[in-house]
Each structure stands twice: as structure tokens, then as C-alpha cells.
Structure 1
Amino acid sequence: MQQPDIFLGDEPVASLDPSTAKSIFGILRSVHDEKNLVTIINIHDVEIAKKFSTRIIGLKEGKLAFDGRPEELDDKAYNRIYDE
């Protein structure tokens, strides 16, 4: 599609080194901002998610464990998701 309404990414930087992953997410964020494109990405790297997202949803055993802004994802919320 040339003019999508939504971008879905499933672990788009899974096997990349941290520097390249951040560059790719910077590009994705720029496209999101410039095109006002709804962007939904599945990622397990919490620090990248916190840096580049406007909303984080955390699931545990298929149930909602967290839904909020990146700055709200504190240690308590992290532990609810990952049970550490």
C-alpha cells in the first residue's frame, strides 16, 4: 500500500544491534508523526518502547496488565507485567 491508514510491526528490530534498532525506531516515529499514521508495534524491549512510544500496553497471560504513557511504566507496573 502506498497510503496506509495503519502500520503494524511485529518485532521490527528483533535481531538488530541496539544502535540500528534505535535508528529504525527513529524513522518509524518520524513517519508516524509526519503522516499522522496510526502505528502499533509489538516489542519486548521496554526501554525502546518507553523512548519512542506515546502509549504502552502490557499483557500478562493474555490479560491487560498495563495501559498508559511511557513515563507511567514504573517498576511497580513493570513487575505487574513481567512478575519479577
Structure 2
Amino acid sequence: MITIKLSFYTTSGKLKYPSSTTIYPNVSIGSSVEIGDNCIIYPNVSIYDNCKIGNNVIIQSGCVIGSDGFGLVKDESNFWF
């Protein structure tokens, strides 16, 4: 079962995440984001549009995923990794 601690914000209804993922408060998730199995997303995380998060990923509080910077590349499906 998915666990959502209070609330989070998404810019689109195209968010895909499994029931085994935990999302804490004040998380901002862009459009067309996919989140894998058994993930934990701690408070105050930002995940930008078109990102794909793998299985068993822990994203610590305050992280920004998918912004310009170190080591980001789009794959053939237009997802950042």
C-alpha cells in the first residue's frame, strides 16, 4: 500500500508510482514522472518533469532531481537519468 505522509504536489495526473512507495510531506513532483517499487521520498524533495526513478531508491530531504547540473542526460524516451 502506498504511504503518503500528509500531502505532496504534482503538476500533472500522469504520475506513476507503485503502492510500495512512501512519499513524505512537501514533495513537489513534475509531470510525466515514474517512480519505481519500494522507494522512499523524504520531505522537501523536488522531482522535475519527465524523470524516472528506479526501484529501491531513497531520496533524502531537500534533494532536487532532474534540474540542470552534474551528470544529467535524456534517454530515448525523453526521461532524465
Q: For the superposition of Structure 1 and Structure 2, which TM-score range results when normalised by the shorter chain?
A: under 0.3
More helix, by proportion: 1
TM-score relative to the length of structure 1: 0.24
Greater C-alpha Rg = 1
TM-score relative to the length of structure 2: 0.25
